[in-house]
Amino acid sequence: MTNLNTSKEKIIKENRRIKLTTLDELKIKVSFKLENSVIIIDNVRINLTDFSELKRNPPLTYILTLGFLIYGGAITAGVGVIIGVFANSAAFWLTIPAAGMIYAGIKSPNFNKNYKIEKGLKFEIISMPD
């Protein structure tokens, strides 16, 4: 990716996890492969001109958000229900933040910078020596 205003370049290597948004607002989160001037995702070819936004989605971020938010929310809900049934009914209130955590984990927040074409970026495929 090259910023046309500042001439800065950002390189994302092949087989890395990305979050890609196409022009028709389809969002895809997956590792990608390259072939000629086409990105291949799950045997579907997407041209460089067919997407509007690209964001890195490293595995560590994915694992931490998935593990902390979804599993933490499920554990919080379970503990709230168990305590609510056996000890104090006020513990049922723990299910509200637990539901919020699970929802946030499903939406998978990604705090990495997104790269948009409308911000003056140009996407191109280059070959690099190994």
State the Rg of the chain over Cα: 20
For 32-63, the three-class secondary structure string (H helix, E strand, C coil) is: CEEECCEEEECCEEEEHHHEEEEEECCHHHHH
> What does each of the 130 residues of the chain score in pLDDT, given as a tens digit?
677 777 777 777 777 777 777 777 777 777 777 666 677 776 777 776 777 777 777 777 777 777 788 889 999 999 999 999 998 888 888 899 999 988 888 776 666 666 676 666 666 666 666 5
DSSP SS3 for 82: helix
What does the alpha-carbon distance between residue 96 and residue 107 come to, in Å, rounded to a whole number? 17
Quote the pLDDT of residue 99: 92
Q: Among positive and negative, which fits the CA dihedral 79, 84, 87, 91?
A: positive
What does the alpha-carbon distance between residue 76 and residue 116 come to, in Å, rounded to a whole number? 37
Taking the model in full, what pTM does it have?
0.54
What does the alpha-carbon distance between residue 127 and residue 85 come to, in Å, rounded to a whole number? 61
Map out the domains of the chain as residue ranges.
Answer: 2-57+112-122, 61-107
Quote the pLDDT of residue 111: 64
Quote the pLDDT of residue 56: 73
Quote the pLDDT of residue 74: 92
